[in-house]
Amino acid sequence: MANEAQPCPCDIGHKMEYGGMGSEVPVEHIQAYLCKPPSSTDKAVIVVQDIFGWQMPNTRYIADMIAANGYTVICPDFFVGKEPWQPNDDWSTFQDWLKTRNARNVDKEADAVLKYLKKHCNAKKIGIVGFCWGGVVVHHLMVKYPDFKAGVSVYGIIKDTEDVYALNNPTLFIFGEKDTVIPLEQINVLEKKLKEHCKVDYQIKIFPGQTHGFVHRKREDCKPEDRSCIEESRKNLIDWLNKYI
């Protein structure tokens, strides 16, 4: 992901000062952040962290936003206790760090969270949303698990294998036009492969002028065009969940 021209592939951006409306709960071998909606529901959404971890305030803000729209939302620690990436870490070591946190090796955690939602939260219809590293997790799980009725992968892409295009259920992919981590060429390949192999509804949305992390790590008041893209992308996310869950 890193290169000499872009040594910092995932700038933390604007880290919110936000405490969260939910609470932390144990889920078998991992911890998770759980937020419940205003009224009881059988609909739930798993939110998957970016490289900065499950306790990132920005991610919890999005989890609470989804919960406010009528879903039980859980954000588990998919790093299973391993330290998240820190903004002051040495980016030359990033690839080695990433190898110990494989976004396609999360089935044990996914199983535990699905079991928890069904047993303790009365969840019967479950979706999943992920950012960056978590977007890759979403892509992987939407191919492998029919349990997820809808998925939203936000600036996450799997590009090193051919077995990830037969999605089980509707999936929305959100990208920024100016994302140096995921260039437009990779998005074009994704779209081509989905057209060839995917039998369910999917959508790829590319937001003009936006960079990696814009949906949850950029302040809405940066520029007017940023604000409109951030608001539209979040609305698209909620609308997709509402449509298919």
Q: State phi, psi for 226 to the nearest 5 degrees.
A: -65, -45
Give pLDDT, residue 30.
Answer: 98
Q: Using one digit for the tens of pLDDT, what is the confidence trace for 213-237?
A: 999 988 776 788 899 999 999 999 9
Give pLDDT, residue 9.
Answer: 54
| Residue where the block lists tokens 């779209």 | 191
The residue ranges of every structural domain in the chain are: 23-244
Asked whether 173 and 158 are in contact (CB, 8 A), the reply is: no
CA triplet 14, 79, 37: central angle to 5 degrees? Answer: 65
Once rounded to an integer, what is the mean pLDDT over residues 131-158?
97
Which homologous superfamily does the CATH classification assign to the domain defined by 23-244?
A: Alpha/Beta hydrolase fold, catalytic domain (3.40.50.1820)
Question: Is the model more confident about 25 or about 20?
Answer: 25
Give pLDDT, residue 92.
Answer: 92
Give pLDDT, residue 223.
Answer: 82
List b or e across 155-180, with b for residues whose CB sees 16 or more CB atoms inside 10 angstroms: bbbbeeeeebbebbbbbbbbbbeebe
pTM for this prediction: 0.94
Q: State phi, psi for 239 to the nearest 5 degrees.
A: -60, -40
Question: What residues are annotated to the active site?
Answer: 132, 179, 212
Per DSSP, what are the bridge partners of residue 129?
47, 152
Give pLDDT, residue 137.
Answer: 98
Six token digits for residue 123: 């969840």
Give pLDDT, residue 200.
Answer: 98
Q: Using one digit for the tens of pLDDT, what is the confidence trace for 120-139?
A: 999 999 999 999 999 999 99
Q: Using one digit for the tens of pLDDT, what is the confidence trace for 60-84?
A: 999 999 999 999 999 999 999 999 9
Asked whether 129 and 138 are in contact (CB, 8 A), the reply is: yes
Asked whether 185 and 161 are in contact (CB, 8 A), the reply is: no
Give the other-Cβ count within 10 Å of 26's Cβ. Answer: 9
- State the DSSP code for 70: T
Q: How far apart are CA 149 and CA 193, in angstroms?
A: 21
